[in-house]
Amino acid sequence: MTEPYKAAVLGGGSFGTALCNMLAENGHHAKLWLRDAQRAEEINTEHRNSRYLPDLQLHANVQATISLAEAVDGVDVVLVAVPSYSCREVAEQLSKLLPVTTYIISTTKGTEQTRFNLMSSVLLDILPNNPLAVLSGPNLAKEIVAKQLTGTVIASDNAQLIHFAQQLLQNKYFKVYGNSDRFGVELGGTLKNIYAIVSGMAAAMNMGDNTRALLMTRSLAEMSRFAVKLGANPLTFLGLAGVGDLIVTCSSPLSRNYQVGFAVGSGKSLEETTRELGQVAEGVNTLKLVKEKAVELDVYMPLATGLYRILFEGGQVSEVIMQLMQNPHQDDVEFITAEN
């Protein structure tokens, strides 16, 4: 056990709650910031977050607060787990509260609402002097709190921060791997949400395992093709933050993006699905921005383009799948080392 650190987790959703609980179990001083006073009171008195993780008995040392200033006072690290649409607002508040020595770890997978801007870019815009890392991987909150064996990736160009995060988070069921390709790791966690929607549709339509394997592997090809165009390392997508996260998100009914795809594949409209879920899944907004960026960069992305037609232009799933089978693109593995 390393020395206990002081940490604040911003965001009282399922993943933020799971992270804060794990930090407390690891022996650190953990505070959870959220906006809902009633839920904060429930966490502090009943040690439960009944909205997001109703079956979890939180560690007694988890403390919740609705005061951001109180949450981050004197902490060594801030883990940002707020929804993408509120990241900029929260970062602006943090800029008035944090010294530049405080580590920041972004865990939110998504883009800003109106432009293709990842969360690390938002945080760097507003907190340029704080050491920054990104946490991403196949990390379903309900499995983490159940202590299922889980791996994740901490990515930063700051080796000291990577080492710190490994000490902070790692335990007997949660393994933390390091990566210096922060952009690629974050991009993998963002892009896979698009393809989880595709996979949910395929499941709803009772497509076979061969078809779903085809869709997942071509999804990985699209993700890496797009990422390389933006400067990421294609090998990053062979790791937990790439293919690992893609597999779990495309296979698990616990994924909100998968749920969107399943509902649409079952005949529901996107609007009806969004109402039932209570919020827009990250993949829906990401899809719009990625489709625009792919056109701008001239990146071939038939699955993302096809999904866009289905969700926003009235296209049929079967038609999009058939177009994938008939497209002229023939190469299986695109980023392969040529023999000398």
Active site includes 147? no
Average pLDDT over residues 132-161: 97
State the Cα–Cα distance between residues 239 and 221, nearest whole angstrom: 14
State the Cα–Cα distance between residues 195 and 255, nearest whole angstrom: 11
Res 337: pLDDT: 44
At residue 72, φ and ψ (nearest 5 deg) are: -95, 0
Domain ranges of the chain: 6-180, 183-326
Q: Please return the burial class of 14, using the count of CB atoms within 10 Å of its CB with bins 0-12, 13-18 and 19+.
A: buried
Topology, domain 183-326? N-(1-d-carboxylethyl)-l-norvaline Dehydrogenase; domain 2 (1.10.1040)
Average pLDDT over residues 280-288: 87
Q: Which helix (H) or strand (E) holds 223?
A: helix 209-229
Does the pLDDT of residue 178 top 70, yes or no?
yes
Per the model's pLDDT, the better-predicted residue between 264 and 320 turns out to be 264
How does residue 316 score in pLDDT terms, banded at 50, 70 and 90? confident
**Which structure tokens are listed for 273?**
């699905």
Does the pLDDT of residue 328 top 60, yes or no?
no
Q: Within 10 Å of residue 118's Cβ, how many Cβ atoms? A: 25
Does the pLDDT of residue 340 top 60, yes or no?
no
Does the pLDDT of residue 32 top 60, yes or no?
yes
Does the pLDDT of residue 325 top 80, yes or no?
no
Q: Indicate which residue of 31, 192, 291, 293 is catalytic.
A: 192
Sign (positive or negative) of CA dihedral 331, 210, 110, 47: negative
State the Cα–Cα distance between residues 72 and 9, nearest whole angstrom: 9
Res 332: pLDDT: 64
**Which structure tokens are listed for 166?**
């490994």
How does residue 163 score in pLDDT terms, banded at 50, 70 and 90? very high
Topology, domain 6-180? Rossmann fold (3.40.50)
Average pLDDT over residues 129-142: 96
Q: Which helix (H) or strand (E) holds 163?
A: helix 159-169
